[in-house]
Structure 1
Amino acid sequence: MDTEDHKALREAVSALGKRHGRGSDPTQLWSEAGKLGYLGVNLPEEYGGGGGGISELSLVLEELGAAGCPLLMMVVSPAICGTVIARFGTDAQKQTWLPALADGSRLMAFGITEPDAGSNSHRITTTARRDQDTGDWILTGRKVFISGVDIADATLIVGRTEDARTGRLKPCLFIVPRDTPGFGRRLIDMELNAAEKQFELTLDDVRLPADALVGDEDAGLLQLFAGLNPERIMTAAFAIGMGRYALARAVEYARDRQVWKTPIGAHQAIAHPLAQAHIELELARLMMQKAAHLYDAGDDTGAGEAANMAKYAAGEACVKAVDQAVHTLGGNGLTREYGLAQLITAARVARIAPVSREMILNYVSHQTLGLPKSY
């Protein structure tokens, strides 16, 4: 349940969201949210953040979503990249990036997905090798479906380096500034009405200084999952906010729309599915809060299970809420005026990204239930 501080933060962010509303300029909203301290609530105070955790940041994104103006880059910039740098970055990397990520003056994208790897991070082929003469890193590879690269100052790229002892490849994270030579991007034409664009990236012998590496070269998956758990929690927040927005529009319509003697919301065929949607969103929110609490308490293993479950539950609840909202409005649900039709596509994002519901079911089958793997 929300603390008093959380309730106050919800009210303040909700008021900001309502001032901007659906269809507002996300750049302006990002800037204002940053100045008010909402983008950096999870980052350390000594670097300009709020000193809170993913609990607070997910709350901010949920409330902006419920007001109709979610900021997708919150999932990426402060949640993934800010968290990884705060936990594993050098002092110089923290000084360079965290204050700017916290106040919104700089953005960072995150590049993990590859055309041929999909959900299998062990198949990532973007490689990083050392130049023995200079100590530089040289990155080669491709990434796909990377959000906001055009507006981000840098992208945190997941590459793989060769373990000198075993010869096996292990994941490592690198900060790649947007205009680095050899770092190319191509816009992907998406059937998705979103402010943030999706890109395919190419890294063609991208040369980076030694200090572009974030964290320990040998930490591998530990550092990677430090960013992926917040990503799942924040995706849940994104979905819950969107579902709440759609549900609120439907409830408002059902209260006012009168065809026979009473508003259509009096009919159980309309009312009950909306009540079910509300229940499922609230249940998903509880799991999201549990996941955020575990993560903020330092329980990475417990948070991994809860974050996956929260993301699954929120994605399902969001899709159902949006579908029911559109049905409630009938033909009006497909008009631009009411703004729900575009959510039909957007809601599916929470089912697909950053990990599909099928892979979450695999995770729960193996990790929670102890069933054998099929792959």
Structure 2
Amino acid sequence: MSFIETEEQKELRKAVSELGHKYGWTYLLEKAKNGEKTTELWEEAGKLGFLGVNLPEEYGGGGAGMYELSLVLEELSAAGAGLLMMVVSPAICGTIISRYGTDEQKQTWLPGIADGSITMAFGITEPDAGSNSHNIITTARRDGDEWILNGRKTYISGVDQAQAVLIVSRMADSKTGKLKPALFIVPTDAPNFEYQAIEMGMRSPEKQFTLFIDDVRLPADALVGSEDAALMQLFAGLNPERIMASAMAIGTARYALDKATAYAKERQVFKTPIGAHQAIAHPLAQCYVEIELAKLAMQKAAFLYDSGDDWGAATAANMAKYAAGEAGVKTVDQAVHTHGGNGLAVEYGLVDLLAASRLMRIAPVSREMILNFIAQANLGLPKSY
């Protein structure tokens, strides 16, 4: 692993940053206020090859890895134009299909995911399961050559802009009788598949939804991968999810820090820029340190994942998500505080990040569940849940 990025990676950062600043936070804010989607930004990012940079070249992708995809989301977020569905569509769904899908599934879905013409959502969380994915009640059963799905999902992002949802369900193991995970591609226009928006207290172009899956009938080829290896296939998508969540948190923290430092240089009280005072300068410097540490953790996780070290990537991705979430919350809070009352004014571009920054600690996995994982997997402590 090199701490110096290649020329291609540097050029990618520059190009993505230019695209992000072309749109910026005012674009996202207006879209959220008007109940609209970031269609223009999403489509342009797709045409430029940014959305599918991690997907195989033979299916229209860039042939790079999770490092490059996380780089894209970090730079967009640092420009105030982060795209939440990048965490879901190319990172989770695109990765799982490219690694475990059939040739037909790859040809059907990956080119569109790569160029942005297809968006795929991901459905795992349930009302009564939460962080306990072993308690999922959405089930799949065979009916001749078809499958029938039943269940509920909640807090599923971007279903209204997706053509399909990759649903995590469970099916009976014919040998043991126990339920085992299974992944299915469910078109959003499938009969008996319905979704309802959840009213959220933060403004975002991407909405959250509850899914109602009642006797949804699917063809045999809706199943992704092997019936006997779905747990491994599921985690192949969850590590990229954590890496990309880290990228969005880090980019958002960079955006907030840039706002705060610019304000601290310009704002004068008693004829002195407020940034000259250690009470302002030191907390911002500490935020910078913590952002850079989180970024190193994220880059390590992406490197391990791209190297094929799934177990090493799991630990690293969880730690990166923890560090990035903490750095993001702290930096947004400090940026608002640096602005004083102006931090709560919409025109300064920070107040909407207060609610969004809390999400960095909660989703897609809470910091407490990350600490549970580290305690058990890395410290060898007894399982507590």
TM-score, structure 1 length as denominator? 0.99
- Distance across 1 between alignment mates of 2:48 and 2:211: 33
Deviations 1:5-55 (A, max 9, x none): 211111110011111111315211100000000000000000000000110
Q: Of the candidates 219, 238, 245, which is equivalent to residue 235 of structure 1?
A: 245
- Output the amino acid matched with 2:18: A
Deviations 1:224-279 (A, max 9, x none): 00000000000000100100000000000000001113210010100000000011
| Aligned positions of 1:1-375 closer than 5 A | 1=3, 2-24=5-27, 26-132=38-144, 135-375=145-385
Q: Give how far 1:3 is off.
A: 2.1
The answer as to whether partners of 2:372 and 2:384 remain within 8 angstroms in 1 is no
- Output the amino acid matched with 2:101: G
Q: Percentage identity across aligned positions?
A: 71
CA RMSD of aligned residues (A): 0.7
Q: Give how far 1:318 is off.
A: 0.2
Deviations 1:168-207 (A, max 9, x none): 1111110000110110101100001111000000100000
- Distance across 2 between alignment mates of 1:324 and 1:345: 14
- Distance across 1 between alignment mates of 2:26 and 2:236: 33
Q: Give how far 1:367 is off.
A: 0.2
> Which sits farther off after the overlay, 16-25 or 230-239?
16-25
- Output the amino acid matched with 1:140: N
Structure 2: 5+ residue stretches without partners: 32-37
The answer as to whether partners of 2:157 and 2:206 remain within 8 angstroms in 1 is yes
Give the match's secondary structure for 1:218.
coil
The answer as to whether partners of 2:256 and 2:350 remain within 8 angstroms in 1 is yes
- Distance across 2 between alignment mates of 1:237 and 1:172: 28
- Distance across 1 between alignment mates of 2:212 and 2:22: 39
- Distance across 2 between alignment mates of 1:32 and 1:362: 40
- Distance across 1 between alignment mates of 2:151 and 2:308: 33
- Output the amino acid matched with 1:125: I
TM-score, structure 2 length as denominator? 0.96
Q: Segments of 4+ in structure 1 off by > 6 A?
A: none
Give the match's secondary structure for 1:157.
strand
Structure 1: 5+ residue stretches without partners: none
Give the match's secondary structure for 1:21.
helix
